[in-house]
Structure 1
Amino acid sequence: MRLFSYKGLSMMIMLRDEHCPPHAHVDAGVWSARFKFSFCHNSVELWDVVAHSRRAPSAVLEGLRQGLSQPAHLRRARGIWWDKLQTACLDNQLWDTQHDEVVMMKSVASTTYMIGSSYYEPEKNKTLLALMGAPEGVEIEL
């Protein structure tokens, strides 16, 4: 499903055979790229680029990344992803309540909990986390 266009290129959320992490695709014919987005923060990053016959211009890739970072486009991407896959791709990851972020392998501290489940509310642009063993969950306003 198309999110937006930038310099004649369409940023898309594919609706078949998708997988975590949440991401959007751009196919320029001579190259293709994927951009990761999240349900727990508003950053967007270039995930990878494949040059089929030509390299992707850095300025175009950055323009596409900034385009997806726009609140309306990011919210639409999350909504499409959630509607299709029903996952925020956060389950079974570690959440640090002190720093309010997903953390990779780190020594378990009293502020680190396993995310048991996550739920995205598209109409409120909010992610809810149920943390295993924590006294309460986390609500992330995006």
Structure 2
Amino acid sequence: MAEVFVSEQIGAHVVVFSHDHCPPHISALQRREAWTARIRFSFVTDVVALWDVEPLRNAPRRRALGLLLDEVQDRLAACRRCWWSVQGTTCLEGRLAMAQDREESGSLTLLSRRRGKARQVRTASYEPDSEDLRLVFGDSSKMAIKAGTGTEA
């Protein structure tokens, strides 16, 4: 387990567990109130979203969850850095994407199904210091984008 930060708003410890699996996410452990929330994030977009809360009988109020989501959004680079450090994956391998400007920085849109000139991501790596996301596609073309600058369709 690697701690990302301690929530100033609700006192939860925000962590990445070594046994976690894709998609990228953090777990917020609120020991005093006995609940855990998982929050998903992406290396491509800056969207963060509540995944689940357990146990439901101890679930926090919406306001507390909203404050937690805001803190994760504010510390998204640290969440990505920690996930990459612990898991060593961006969870993008095998995903379909529309990319422009091969071999250069360009735009990237993740797709839920094949369409147009979609290509499959073969490998993806992340450079935490520069927040660069480097992709290699199935056709061996490459591209780099800043984390959080892509879209999801």
TM range (shorter): 0.7 to 0.9
1:39 equivalent in alignment to 2:43:
yes
Amino acid corresponding to residue 126 of structure 1 in structure 2: D
Amino acid corresponding to residue 84 of structure 2 in structure 1: W
Identical residues among aligned pairs (%): 24
Corresponding residue to 2:121 among 115, 118, 127: 115
Could you list the runs of 5+ residues in structure 1 that have no partner in the other structure?
A: none
Runs of 4 or more above 6 Å deviation: none
C-alpha distance in structure 2 between counterparts of 1:22 and 1:124, whole Å? 19
8 Å contact 2:121–2:136 — kept in the other structure?
Answer: yes
**Length-normalised TM-score, structure 1:** 0.85
Of the two structures, which has the highest relative contact order with CA contacts closer than 8 Å and spacing of 6 or more? 2
Q: Which residue of 1 aligns with 2:63?
A: 59
The 5-angstrom pairing of residues 90-129 of structure 1 reads 90-97=92-99, 100-105=108-113, 107-110=114-117, 112-129=118-135
Could you list the runs of 5+ residues in structure 2 that have no partner in the other structure?
A: 101-106, 148-153
Q: What is the Cα deviation at residue 7 of structure 1? A: 2.5
For residues 57-112 of structure 1, give each alpha carbon's deviation from its aligned partner in whole angstroms, at most 9, with x where no partner exists: 10111111111111xx111111111111110010011012267221112x4322x1
Residue-pair matches, total = 137
Amino acid corresponding to residue 122 of structure 2 in structure 1: G
In structure 2, the CA distance between the partners of 1:7 and 1:13, relative to structure 1 (3 Å rule), is same
Local SS of the residue matching 2:58: coil
**Length-normalised TM-score, structure 2:** 0.80
C-alpha distance in structure 2 between counterparts of 1:34 and 1:102, whole Å? 22
Q: Which residue of 1 aligns with 2:151?
A: none
